């Protein structure tokens, strides 16, 4: 993943692909507001903000730099009604292979970030995350064919 937001920044960061730089926006970061220490970014190789991309939340309290490329293991996804789904990842050396296996403390922090209070929204495991990535890839492939 490419790190786009860390707990060091109260404001939401914006990525500028033409310069490969980040700037602060006027809005507070959701993770900051809800006191969730996890870094956020996008899945490398699957688009780049502000264009189409796959968002990813890394369950880690390690410090990262903006733009840092971090190896991850995807174990789940938060499905949103608006389609702006959030993949969930952990460090590759961790033993968990699915969202359901996470410690309750980590699940509680994730629920603070996205409580899943709307119909159809919620936290799902590895298989649904794989479906999200597969569907994204199919749409990307179709877009390239029509361009």
Beta strands in the chain (DSSP E): 2-5, 11-16, 21-28, 40-47, 53-58, 73-79, 86-90, 122-125
Confidence at residue 141, expressed as pLDDT on a 0 to 100 scale: 62
Q: What is the pTM of this model?
A: 0.92
Question: pLDDT for 29-38, tens place per residue?
Answer: 999 999 999 9
Confidence at residue 105, expressed as pLDDT on a 0 to 100 scale: 96
Coil/strand/helix, residue 46 = strand
Q: List, in sequence order, the alpha helices (H) in the chain.
A: 30-33, 104-113, 126-146
Q: Which residues span the domain enclosing 84? A: 2-146
Confidence at residue 145, expressed as pLDDT on a 0 to 100 scale: 59
Write out residues in the chain with pLDDT < 70, as ranges.
140-147
Question: pLDDT for 85-102, tens place per residue?
Answer: 999 999 999 999 999 999
Say how far apart CA 21 and CA 144 lie, in whole Å.
26
Confidence at residue 27, expressed as pLDDT on a 0 to 100 scale: 97
The CATH number of the domain holding residue 12 is 3.90.80.10
Closest among 116, 118, 31, 133 to 75, alpha carbons compared: 133
Say how far apart CA 133 and CA 94 lie, in whole Å.
21
Task: Report the number of distinct structural domains present in the chain.
Answer: 1
């Amino acid at each position: 993943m490419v790190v786009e937001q860390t707990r060091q920044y109260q404001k939401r960061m914006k990525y500028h692909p033409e310069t490969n730089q980040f700037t602060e926006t006027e809005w507070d970061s959701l993770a900051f507001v809800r006191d969730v220490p996890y870094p956020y970014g996008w899945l490398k190789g699957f688009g780049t903000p502000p264009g189409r991309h796959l968002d990813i939340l890394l369950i880690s309290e390690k410090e990262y730099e903006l733009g840092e490329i971090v190896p991850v293991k995807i174990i789940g996804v938060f499905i949103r009604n608006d389609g702006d789904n959030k993949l969930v990842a952990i460090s590759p050396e961790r033993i968990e292979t699915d969202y359901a296996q996470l410690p309750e403390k980590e699940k509680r922090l994730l629920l603070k970030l996205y409580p899943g209070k709307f119909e159809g929204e919620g936290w799902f495991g590895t298989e649904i995350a794989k479906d999200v990535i597969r569907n994204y890839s199919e749409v990307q492939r179709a877009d390239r064919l029509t361009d």
